[in-house]
Amino acid sequence: MSGRQREALWSRLDEEQEHRVLRGFDESDEPIVLRRVPLDDFAVSGGSLAGAMNNARRGNVSKTRGPISISYDPDKNTFFVIDGHHRLAQAKLEKKKTIDVKIVRSGYSDYWVTP
C-alpha cells in the first residue's frame, strides 16, 4: 500500500473524527460518513471483490443502498472494506472514480481480516 493510500482518508477527517478512529469507536458513536472517496483510498480483499465483480457481471447486484462500510486496522494503518463489496464492484464496473463510505469501527477484530 502506498503512502498516499495511508494518508488519503486521514486528510478527510477533522481532529475529533481522527481522535475517535484512533481511540476506537464506542457503542454510542455514530459512523463517520465521507462522500466521494476515491476507490483506491482504502483496501479491499481481492477474493471478496472478485466474487462480487462476478456476481455484478451476472446481474446479481447489491440489495443494499448507501455508503459502503469500512474499518480501520491500527496495526496495519489501513482502512478496509467490511461491508459493501457488491456496491464497490458495481461502482468499478460503472467506471466510477469515487464512492461514499462510512467508517463504522476501528481496532482489532477476529471477525474481519485486513487484506
Number of domains in the chain: 1
pLDDT tens profile 76-96: 888 999 999 999 999 999 999
The answer as to whether 114 is a domain residue is no
The answer as to whether 97 is a domain residue is yes
The answer as to whether 17 is a domain residue is yes
The answer as to whether 32 is a domain residue is yes
Q: Which residues contact 1 (CB under 8 A, 6 or more apart)?
A: 43, 78
CATH of the domain at 46: 3.90.1530
Q: Which residue spans within 12-109 are E strands per DSSP? A: 32-38, 68-73, 78-83, 98-106
The answer as to whether 66 is a domain residue is yes
Confidence (pTM): 0.86
Domain that holds residue 75: 3-106
pLDDT tens profile 15-73: 999 999 999 988 888 999 999 999 989 999 889 999 999 999 999 888 889 999 999 98
**Whole-number pLDDT of residue 113:** 55
Whole-angstrom Cα distance, residue 90 to residue 34? 19
The answer as to whether 111 is a domain residue is no
Tell me: pLDDT of 108 over 90.
Answer: no
The answer as to whether 115 is a domain residue is no
Binned at pLDDT 50, 70 and 90, residue 1 comes out as very low
The answer as to whether 26 is a domain residue is yes
